[in-house]
Amino acid sequence: MPRYLVERTFKDGLHIPTSPEGAKTCLSVVGNNADLTVTWIHSYVTEDKGMTYCIYDGPNAEAIRKAAERNGLPVDRISEVSVLDPYFYH
């Protein structure tokens, strides 16, 4: 499955509490994604929580957008990416 980088801007900042509530939110995201065969790998969040860069596995960009819609998440840009790390050529 292709891997995608999803850039999101949160006008009011993304605040997920480190509580059972927060855990529930994350799990419901996972659940909604699963319905669309989309997997949230992890995200990078900026210091001010205004932007996130999220790594996803999914069948296509449309599924990513649908999952975002179901989870109430904004989408600025979707790019298809592949992983490269320093030891790739070792």
What three-state secondary structure class fits 65?
helix
Residue type, 50: G
Residue type, 17: P
Beta bridge partners of 40: 56
Closest CB 61 distance from another protein, rounded Å: 4
CA 58 to chain centre: 11
**Contact set with another protein (CB under 8 A):** 2, 4, 35, 37, 59-63, 65-66, 69, 75-80
Compare residues 5 and 45 and give the one whose CB is closer to another protein. Answer: 5
Compare residues 58 and 89 and give the one whose CB is closer to another protein. Answer: 58
Compare residues 13 and 59 and give the one whose CB is closer to another protein. Answer: 59
Closest CB 20 distance from another protein, rounded Å: 18
